[in-house]
Amino acid sequence: GAGVSQSPSNKVTEKGKDVELRCDPISGHTALYWYRQRLGQGLEFLIYFQGNSAPDKSGLPSDRFSAERTGESVSTLTIQRTQQEDSAVYLCASSLGRGVANTGELFFGEGSRLTVL
Amino acid sequence: QKEVEQNSGPLSVPEGAIASLNCTYSDRGSQSFFWYRQYSGKSPELIMFIYSNGDKEDGRFTAQLNKASQYVSLLIRDSQPSDSATYLCALNTGRRALTFGSGTRLQVQP
């Protein structure tokens, strides 16, 4: 597709369950980012991929969070044993080049809204 | 201290007025600065970036950077109701991902 695609768009789960969120970046974009946005808040950095490796995973809030990327394309963010505080919109973005491209243009997907009951 | 500080607003301006959005940051090593716009329920989109001290104009938008005072601002001239959105300040501190502020909500009253 032309843009960054994320699925599911909405996910409601029970506390303690595991969830997987998927991101399909723009074709050819080597850098991929996951951010979290709680209601009324700014974007909280989670993890950055360059190709299939993650040189910066400093934003992952706990060991319940993990992410992988394969084929320098699709990425999956997994949250194990979900808690209510995990409720947020999880945004994926991609960009050309290494790290943040000179223009700083991150192309965002529409996000996955996670609600933990 | 947060790395990027923005007044959450809402900032309310009448149609046709100038909207002034401000952002301060703590890391003097920050190299480049960005303004993203986020409509309610949508994802952010880049509207301006600035690297050097001074002003940068793009249509109705002007970004202003003062590295000595560690602030960056966005001016929107001739504000339109369609400009109503949350404006996110972001910067590159040398990490490989942008650091975002919490955003300022702008309301342009018709």
φ, ψ at B29 (rounded to 5°): -80, 0
Q: Is the pLDDT of residue B41 over 90?
A: no
Check residue A101 and give its pLDDT. 47
Check residue A98 and give its pLDDT. 58
Using alpha carbons only, what angle is made at residue A55 by residues A49 and A57, rounded to the nearest 5 degrees?
Answer: 80
Q: Is the pLDDT of residue B2 over 90?
A: no
φ, ψ at A79 (rounded to 5°): -120, 120
Check residue B109 and give its pLDDT. 96
Print pLDDT tens along chain A (117 aa).
579 999 999 999 999 999 999 999 999 898 999 999 998 888 999 999 989 999 888 899 999 999 999 998 999 999 999 999 999 999 999 988 654 545 568 899 999 999 999
Check residue A1 and give its pLDDT. 54
Query: Which pLDDT band, with edges at 50, 70 and 90, does B29 fall under?
Result: confident
Residue B34 touches chain A, beta carbons under 8 Å: yes
The CA radius of gyration of chain A, in Å to the nearest whole number, is 13
Check residue B28 and give its pLDDT. 86
Of residues B27, B31, B29, the one with CA closest to residue B5? B27
Instruction: Please state, in angstroms and rounded to a whole number, the distance separating the CA atoms of residues B80 and A8.
Output: 34
State the DSSP H helix or E strand holding residue B65, giving kind and residue range, or none if neither. strand B61-66
Q: Residue A102's closest chain B neighbor by CA?
A: B32
Residue A9 touches chain B, beta carbons under 8 Å: no
Q: What is the DSSP letter of A96?
A: S
Check residue A103 and give its pLDDT. 58
Q: Which of B6, B43, B99 lies at the smallest CB-CB distance from A109?
A: B43
pLDDT average, residue stretch B38-53: 91
Residue B53 touches chain A, beta carbons under 8 Å: no
Q: What is the DSSP letter of B59?
A: T
Token digits of residue B17: 């007025």
With a CB cutoff of 8 Å and minimum separation 6, the contacts of B103 are A42, B6, B8, B38, B86, B87, B88, B89
Are B46 and A104 within 8 A, CB to CB? yes
Q: For residues A39 and A88, is the Cβ–Cβ distance under 8 A?
A: yes
Q: For residues B92 and B98, is the Cβ–Cβ distance under 8 A?
A: yes
Mutate to test the interface with A, among B36, B38, B43 (most CBs of A within 10 A): B43
Q: Which range has the worst mean pLDDT, A49-58, B58-67, B88-97, B99-108?
A: B88-97
